Chain A
Amino acid sequence: MRIGSPKQSYAADEALFRTPTQWTWFGILLVSLALYPFMADQYWLYLACLISINIISATGLNILTGYTGQVSLGQAAFMGVGAYTVAWLDTHTGAPFFVNLLAGAGMATVAGVIFGLPSLRVKGLYLAIATIAASFILQFVFINWESVTRGMRGMNIDPPQVMGTALADPDQFYWLVVPIMVVMVLGAANLFRTRIGRAFIAIRDRDISASVLGIHLPTYKLMSFAIASFYAGMAGGLWAYFFGAINPESFPLLMSIFLLAAIIVGGMGTILGGILGAIFMTLTPEALRYGVDLLSPFIEDASVILSPVRTMVFGLLIVGFLLFEPHGLAEIWRRVRRFFHLWPFRN
């Protein structure tokens, strides 16, 4: 049982991890992330890379929707902007991959701020609808701006090169995507220890009293959009490098719903929620595929039902979590932790 952790200074009390136990767990997590590639096969490494990309994007969306309260159904479209920017730069300039990734994230940020402008006029639900519009308009651009995006044919991207080695396989790509993911998640966690993060939450909880405290709403709303789409752009760029090919259908509205589902399932407004949600939602389709494989001897064309079942399960997860566990997996995790804190003196 743990009963408290005395601190000597406010600096210690303001730390990201406030107890030795938390530091220990964080250390264990980093070590396992470093050891993982030596123990997992290509399939599980592939999943780890995909999960990392989704964690980046979901964390971005969580900053915007979970923390700032601005519902967005455009996250996938902003990923698309990042991916296309990377693809174009890769084909036309041959710049190093990290330059392309940053440029992709930067372009997505610009798009995010532009389509975030309606947030200055409208709130909540109206905004969600505006982001649907944004996502259709960007889709239109991907399809019809043929000279840049090659339209429906899509674009191919060579794997990123690090010192002459191409990071083509998941076991190599892992070393690129996981560190980026860790850094970006830590960045998000840091953000909410400072005035900017607090301003976001204030806007979500009560925008009028936020403005009476001197928080300039337009600035912070757009900043939240900018951060969310930066994360989306980075995730999209990595996605493009990882899969090596993109087309306008790579980033559909359904993917935005997928990401929204991830933060709902994981827990909106907690960093842990974005992570857990992305893991859970990435693994769910895999589990479904596995389940359908098991069924295939008994059902004709079992593979055909995979896609509808997946769509249905996404929906069921959204509805189920909102109805029964609105704070998501992060809350379940917290309850489990508390149980062990008090163990064995549970009341």
Chain B
Amino acid sequence: MQHLEVRELSLAFGGVQALRKVSIDAARGGITAVIGPNGAGKTSLFNAISGFYRPQAGSVWLDGEDISALKPPRRAALGLARTFQNIALFRGMTVLDNIKLGAHVRTRTGLLSALWYLGPARNEEIRIREEIERRVIDFLEIDHIRRQPVASLPYGLQKRVELARALAMQPKVLMLDEPVAGMNREEKEDMARFILDVREQWDVTVLMVEHDMGMVMDICDHVHVLNFGEVIAAGKPAEVQADPEVIRAYLGAGDAETLRRRIRGEAGAA
């Protein structure tokens, strides 16, 4: 069964048609990628799935349930987590507090017990802390920075903290918006390993937008290609890679062999 499904989604801003009847899906337990040239509508699609944009037509389904009418916090509560292309951490907080925020939807402490930090509030805080330490902080190897303010961290680590925060939600579907953009080779490899481990150990479905073709080809099970707001191809990475329409979309007309090589990520990132 498809875990997350987008059916015929259309989204326009004023006169600009950002998405045109886009249908994509993410299989349970799989890693699915959405790729496409700049301005193809990938991030708009993510924002529509999260509930920030109100599409004019179409629907979003999570676990066989139509969530199109829900606001972002409700979708989060149902198990939809995401990261942002340009990191959206809370800069005034420590790494630990950022990650704890991920557990917000799973906690219940009310105002009165919070003010006195008595019984339930205290127990819940400690339970969450233990769980985060064990499952997230150890897992992503960020125990050395837990008390540091996020603003002071290097870019690669910030991306990892953002992933940690999303994992603390214990999501069903994890949406990653360009998880390795702007990283060096080593950081990319780390992140790829983490994503694969997440799938192994967390029992989540991963949907990601990514520019780095090498990474997409290496770790994804399924790829959707978006161009000018339309899905132009979908399938296994190798199939998509060979699709002439995809090649055209990416590079316009040109020498086919070089283009193929560039898509494979052999001649440097495009």
List, in ascending order, chain A residues with CB within 8 A of B114's CB: 190-191, 194-197
- Set B89, B109, B116: member contacting A209, Cβ < 8 A: B89
Residues in chain A near residue B42, CB distance under 8 A: none
User: Does any Cβ of A come within 8 Å of B117's Cβ?
Assistant: yes
B187-245 residues with Cβ-Cβ distance < 8 A to A are: none
Q: How large is the interface on A (under 10, 10 to 19, 20 to 34, 35 or more residues)?
A: 20 to 34
Chain B residues 110 to 147 lying within 8 A of chain A, measured CB to CB, are 111, 114-117, 121-122, 124-126, 129-130, 133
Which of B52, B104, B122 is A208 in contact with, Cβ under 8 Å?
B52
B residues neighboring A (CB under 8 Å) = 50, 52, 71-74, 76-77, 81-82, 84, 88-93, 97, 100-105, 107, 109, 111, 114-117, 121-122, 124-126, 129-130, 133, 165, 169
Q: Which of A199, A202, A211, A213 has the most CB of B within 10 A?
A: A213
**B97 engages A198 (CB within 8 Å):** yes
Q: How far is the CA of A13 from the CA of B133 in the complex (A)?
A: 12
Residue ID in chain A nearest B132 by CB atoms: A10
Docked-complex contact A201 and B72, CB < 8 angstroms: no
Question: B90 to chain A: which residues have CB within 8 Å?
Answer: 201-202, 205-206, 209-210
Chain B residue with the shortest CB-CB distance to A197: B114
Q: Are A195 and B129 in contact (CB under 8 A)?
A: no
User: A223: CB under 8 A from chain B?
Assistant: yes
Contact B76 A213 (CB under 8 A): yes
Determine the chain B residues whose CB is within 8 A of the CB of A269 once the complex forms: 92
- Shortest Cβ distance from B122 into chain A, in angstroms? 8
Helix, strand, loop or mixed for chain A's interface? helix
**In the bound complex, do residue B133 and residue A206 qualify as a contact, i.e. CB atoms below 8 Å apart?**
no
Cβ contacts under 8 Å, B81 to chain A: 212
A194 is contacted by which of B50, B125, B165 (Cβ under 8 Å)? B125
CB distance from A110 to the nearest CB of B (A): 15
Residues of B within 8 A of A193 (CB): 117, 125
Contact present for B89 and A214 (CB under 8 Å): no
Pairs A–B under 8 Å by Cβ, sample size 18: A10-B126, A193-B125, A194-B114, A194-B117, A194-B124, A204-B92, A205-B91, A206-B91, A208-B52, A208-B88, A211-B73, A212-B72, A212-B76, A213-B102, A214-B73, A214-B77, A217-B73, A269-B92
Residues of B within 8 A of A209 (CB): 84, 88-90
Confirm or deny: A14 has a beta carbon within 8 angstroms of a beta carbon on chain B. Answer: yes
List the A side residues contacting B71 at CB < 8 Å. Answer: 211, 216
A255 located at the interface, meaning its Cβ lies under 8 Å from any Cβ of chain B in the complex = no
A201-B76 in contact (CB<8A): no
Query: Main SS of chain B's interface residues?
Result: helix
The answer to whether B97 touches A11, judged by C-beta atoms less than 8 angstroms apart, is: no
> Is A215 part of the contact surface with B, judged by Cβ < 8 Å?
yes
Hey, what's the 0/1 contact readout for A166-201 against B, CB within 8 Å counting as 1? 000000000000000000000110110111111101
Residue of A193, A197, A227, A269 most packed against chain B (CB within 10 A) = A193
- Cβ of B77: which chain A residues have Cβ within 8 Å of it? 214
Specify which chain B residues have a CB less than 8 angstroms from the CB of A199 in the assembled complex.
Answer: 101, 104
Residues of B contacting A198 with CB < 8 Å? Answer: 93, 97, 100-101, 104
For the complex with contacts A191-B115, A201-B93, A212-B76, 13 further pairs of A-B residues with Cβ separation under 8 Å are A14-B125, A187-B115, A193-B125, A194-B125, A195-B103, A196-B109, A198-B93, A198-B104, A202-B93, A202-B101, A212-B72, A213-B105, A214-B73
Q: How far is the CB of A223 from chain B (nearest CB, A)?
A: 7
Within 8 A of B (CB), among A1-43: 10-11, 13-14, 16
Max chain B Cβ within 10 angstroms of own Cβ: one of A13, A202, A204, A212: A212
Nearest CB to that of A13 among chain B residues?
B129
In the complex, which of the residues A187, A197, A198, A199 has the most CB atoms of chain B within 10 Å of its own CB atom?
Answer: A198
Chain A 306-331, CB within 8 Å of chain B: the 1/0 string? 00000000000000000000000000
State in angstroms the CA–CA spacing of A266 and B122 once bound together. 29
Residue numbers in A under 8 Å from B50 (CB-CB): 212
- A16 to B122 Cα, complex, angstroms: 11
Q: A215 near B107 (CB under 8 angstroms)?
A: no
